Amino acid sequence: MSKLTGYIYDIIMGPFERKKLHRIRYNLLSKAAGKVLEIGSGTGVNFPYYKEVTVTALEPDESMRERSLAKSKQSRASIEVRNGDAQELEFEDNTFDTVVGTLVLCTIPNPRQALKEIRRVCKPNGLILLFEHVRLEKGITAKAQDILNPIWRKISGGCNLNRETISLLREEGLVLTEVNEYLKGIFLSIEAVNQKDEKIISV
């Protein structure tokens, strides 16, 4: 991607962030605890919401990562920004208390592989906090998401409109403890437990 990607992303997303996403991010990220891994941190838009945690933030795109780096220096939390791919994490098993991903499973080429890696590096019964846009289950909007996806993916740098993220999370063994819908269910905030041993009831 170009050097300008991060700059343009912040300009385009700015009004939507302030109007809609701010409160969602605030509510979700206030739950992050302990040692946190954030995948695909983009321009560091989540960083102001972290408190009393230690964050390792991975961002593969150089232009986005530069902005993440700048924002990490203004945060109250201790944040280290690194280059890294969620599909191939460089960390030992059971390293993190919380893993965060926002608007990122839509873009990662193989989200199933990323989830396997997230499960591996997250501690048993650790917290997984996600905010994603997803394919609706049925109806005309779901059809439109399918039809528009090929062109959208091209112009948006690989973002997919029609990922069935909830099914994927369940298939990969995550225990969903809270799911909140926004904008008619296209956006979801998701809290999940990384069950590796004990049985926890899913919502």
Binding site for ligand SAM (CB under 6 A): 39-42, 45, 58-61, 64, 85-87, 102-104, 107-108, 159
Query: Of the two residues 131 and 192, which places its CB atom closer to ligand SAM in the complex?
Result: 131
Query: Taking the CB of residue 26, how many other CB atoms lie within 10 A of it?
Result: 12
> CB of 70: closest distance to ligand SAM in angstroms?
15
> CB of 75: closest distance to ligand SAM in angstroms?
15
> CB of 199: closest distance to ligand SAM in angstroms?
31
Return the sign of the alpha-carbon dihedral for residues 64, 85, 136, 200: negative
Query: Of the two residues 18 and 199, which places its CB atom closer to ligand SAM in the complex?
Result: 18
Residues 64 and 9 sit within 8 Å (Cβ to Cβ): yes
Token pair for 12: 């385009």
Query: Of the two residues 39 and 129, which places its CB atom closer to ligand SAM in the complex?
Result: 39
Query: Of the two residues 5 and 194, which places its CB atom closer to ligand SAM in the complex?
Result: 5
Q: What is 128-161 written as a DSSP string? A: EEEEEE---SSSHHHHHHHHHHHHHHHHTTS--S
Return the sign of the alpha-carbon dihedral for residues 115, 121, 127, 130: negative
The residues that bridge with 128 in the sheet, in sequence order, are 99, 192
> CB of 126: closest distance to ligand SAM in angstroms?
19
Query: Of the two residues 14 and 124, which places its CB atom closer to ligand SAM in the complex?
Result: 14
Query: Of the two residues 64 and 81, which places its CB atom closer to ligand SAM in the complex?
Result: 64
Characterize 56-76 residue by residue with b for buried, 16 or more Cβ atoms within 10 angstroms of its Cβ, and e for exposed.
Answer: bbbbbbebbbbbbbebbeebe
> CB of 194: closest distance to ligand SAM in angstroms?
18
- 40 Cα distance to chain centroid: 7
> CB of 202: closest distance to ligand SAM in angstroms?
25
